Structure 1
């Protein structure tokens, strides 16, 4: 007589996709109590780490007037972010960069993208998405929620001069936690 196959009582959770992360950051950005609890510092960005969906990492980030991230990517992670208060500007490159093996790249014309994200607005992105996020307000803080999957293995930081993008630094999680 055949034996029944073993059945797992608990299926493995599926890894989140970019749409899941975007849904999470939008819902979290709408949590006025959580957003109001973030301590804001007029001198620099502040952040609180959250548990994101499906093993992702998430952050609530406060942006003083005139602050930004500089050009960077999130390596092999997909991600999403949403503005909870204020307005953020994202400058992005519509091009996939090589994962490694380069220090300087000449960018083609037409790869620059710009978007402004007010309260409740967000966006998702794939691996190796190169961008910078800015709070261009001269007077108002902005607050946003970000999520990444898998949890960030590293961040590559870049400088940009015209069409030249230069890899400046690679940061690992221990550098920002």
Structure 2
């Protein structure tokens, strides 16, 4: 048996390029229910070392505080506007993201994203390796704390 010769790890720039590639697909909008009332995750592609998702964000929807376990990731805003709150090094930062904006992150990032617009927002996300774990967090005593079950 021989080992796979495919790419097993992806750099931040490679993940961003993947999100741009998928975000530029003209057929992307045909996968979206414009009347969605809850956040929806649509699988676009999956390999043993990479997952690509389209996220549909109705107005006001949010992820809640979470991390992505051991996965690195990136996302590209296809449409709409979102706010991302991140907790890193004991500091809370907030960023407004609009169409065309993109962001990459390493494992361990704790963040929360919310559609701040009145219309549907769309984002394309890539994760490497795939999302085998995601830990929800709760905001407590001025910081996010993991919810351990």
TM-score by length of 2: 0.87
Per-residue deviation, 1:162: 4.8
> Pick from 152, 157, 162: which aligns with 2:131?
152
SS at 1:148 equivalent: strand
4+ residue runs over 4 A deviation: none
Per-residue deviation, 1:26: 1.8
Find the counterpart in structure 1 of residue 110 from structure 2.
130
CA RMSD across the alignment: 2.2
Q: How many residues align?
A: 147
SS at 1:159 equivalent: strand
Per-residue deviation, 1:41: 3.9
Where in structure 1 are there 5+ consecutive unaligned residues?
A: 1-7, 96-107, 171-177
Per-residue deviation, 1:54: 7.6
> Pick from 106, 109, 119: which aligns with 1:140?
119
Give the conservation status (yes or no) of the 8 Å contact 1:24–1:53: no
Find the counterpart in structure 1 of residue 25 from structure 2.
31
Where in structure 2 are there 5+ consecutive unaligned residues?
A: none
Which is richer in strand?
2
> Pick from 120, 143, 148: which aligns with 1:164?
143
Q: Structure 1 residues 169, 58: closer, same or farther in 2, change over 3 A?
A: farther
Give the conservation status (yes or no) of the 8 Å contact 2:66–2:110: yes
Q: CA separation in 1, counterparts of 2:141 and 2:76?
A: 28
- Matching of residues 101-120 of structure 1 within 5 Å: 108=90, 111-120=91-100
Cα deviation digits, residues 115-164 of structure 1 (max 9, x gap): 12211111100001110111012x20100001101011110000113523
